[in-house]
Amino acid sequence: MSETQYTEDNIRSLDWKEHIRLRPGMYIGKLGDGSSPDDGIYILLKEVIDNAIDEFVMGAGKTIEIRIKDKEVKVRDYGRGIPLGKVVDVVSKMNTGGKYDTRAFKKAVGLNGVGTKAVNALSSFFLVESTRDGLMKSAEFECGNLKNDPPSEESVKRRGTKVIFSPDESIFKNYKFRKEYVEKMLMNYVYLNPGLTIDFNGEKFFSENGLKDLLEDNMASDDMLYPVIHLKGEDIEIALTHSKSQYSEEYHSFVNGQNTTQGGTHQAAFRESLVKTIREFYGKNYEASDVRKSIVGAISIKVMEPVFESQTKTKLGSTDMGGKLPTVRTFINDFIKTHLDNYLHKNQDVAEKIQRKIVQAERERKELSGIRKLAKDRAKKASLHNKKLRDCRIHLDDSKNDRILETTLFITEGDSASGSITKSRDVNTQAVFSLKGKPLNSYGLTKKIVYENEEFNLLQAALNIEESLEDLRYNNIVIATDADVDGMHIRLLLITFFLQFFPEVIKEGHLYILQTPLFRVRNKKETIYCYSEEERVNAIEKLKPKPEITRFKGLGEISPGEFQHFIGENIRLDPVMLDKAMSIEELLSFYMGKNTPDRQDFIINNLKVELDKVEE
Check which CATH number belongs to the domain holding 409 and give it.
Answer: 3.40.50.670
Residues 342 and 402 in one domain: no
pLDDT band at 397; cut points 50, 70, 90: low
What is the predicted pLDDT for the residue at 23? Answer: 80
pTM over 0.85: no
Give the pLDDT band (50/70/90) at residue 386.
Answer: low
Residue 187 forms part of a structural domain: yes
The closest of 553, 396, 409 to 494, measured between CA atoms, is 409
Looking at the fold, whether 143 and 276 belong to one and the same domain comes out as no
Total number of residues shown for the chain: 616
CB-CB contact of 392 with 431 (8 Å): yes
Domain boundary among 162, 190, 205: 205
- What CATH code is carried by the domain that includes residue 38? 3.30.565.10
pLDDT at 325: 62
pLDDT on residue 404: 45
Q: According to the model, what pLDDT value does residue 384 have?
A: 46
Summarised one tens digit per residue, pLDDT across range 186-225 is: 999 999 999 999 999 999 999 999 999 999 988 878 889 9
Per-residue pLDDT tens digits for 37-66: 888 999 999 999 988 988 898 888 899 999
What is the domain extent for residue 455?
386-516+552-606
Is residue 94 within 8 Å of 117, Cβ to Cβ? Answer: yes
Q: Is residue 199 part of a domain?
A: yes
In contact, 592 and 585? CB cutoff 8 Å = no
Q: Are 218 and 233 in contact (CB under 8 A)?
A: no
Q: Shortest CA distance to 405 belongs to which of 516, 317, 507, 315? A: 315
pLDDT at 608 over 70: no
Establish if 178 belongs to a structural domain.
yes
Can you give the pLDDT at residue 366?
Answer: 85
Higher pLDDT, 229 or 584: 229
pLDDT score of 137: 92
Task: Say whether both 217 and 68 belong to one domain.
Answer: no
Beta bridge partners of 180: none
Domain C-terminal end among 168, 189, 205: 205
The percentage of the chain sitting over the pLDDT mark of 90, rounded to a whole number, equals 32
pLDDT band for 139, please (50, 70, 90 cuts). very high
d(CA 177, CA 182): 7
Q: Tell me the pLDDT band of 394, cut-offs 50, 70 and 90.
A: confident
- 245 and 160 together in one domain: no
Reported as a single tens digit per residue, the pLDDT across 241-257 is 999 878 888 899 998 88
- Claim to verify: residue 178 and residue 277 sit in the same structural domain: no
**pLDDT tens across 564-595, in order?**
888 887 788 888 887 665 666 666 666 666 55
**Who contacts 315 (Cβ-Cβ below 8 Å, separation ≥6)?**
260, 261, 262, 263, 264, 308, 309, 402
Residue 396, pLDDT score: 61
Q: What is the pLDDT of residue 349?
A: 96
Going by their DSSP bridges, the two strands 295-301 and 250-255 should be labelled as parallel
Residues 114 and 228 in one domain: no
Per-residue pLDDT tens over the stretch 329-341: 888 999 999 999 9
What angle, 0 to 180 degrees and rounded to 10, lies between the N-to-C axes of helices 40-57 and 179-192?
A: 20
List, in sequence order, the alpha helices (H) in 115-157. Answer: 115-121
How far is Cα 544 from Cα 528, in angstroms, rounded to an integer? 13
Residue 378 lies in a domain: no
Statement to judge: residues 101 and 218 lie in one domain: no
Q: Name 161's bridge partners.
A: 130
Report the CATH number that the domain containing residue 252 is assigned in CATH: 3.30.230.10
Euclidean distance between CA atoms 31 and 29, whole angstroms: 7
- For residues 559 and 443, membership in a common domain is answered with yes
Mean pLDDT score of the chain: 82
Q: Among residues 368, 349, 336, which one has the least CA distance to residue 457?
A: 368
Same domain (yes/no): 218, 188: no
The residue out of 183, 205, 227 marking a domain boundary is 205
* Domain-embedded: residue 9: no
For the cut 80, the answer to whether the pLDDT of residue 432 exceeds it is: yes
pLDDT at residue number 103 = 41
**346 within some domain:** yes
Considering the domain boundaries, does residue 92 fall inside one? yes
Residue 339: predicted pLDDT: 95
pLDDT of 276 strictly over 90: yes
Top pLDDT among 244 and 316 is at 244
529 in a domain, yes or no? no
Domain count, the chain: 3
Give the lowest-confidence range in 328-337, 388-397, 446-455.
Answer: 388-397
> Do 223 and 196 belong together in one domain?
no
Residues 114 and 252 grouped into a single domain: no
Residues 163 and 229 in one domain: no
Residue 544 pLDDT grade (very low, low, confident, very high; cuts 50, 70, 90)? confident
Confidence band (pLDDT; 50, 70, 90) for 279?
very high
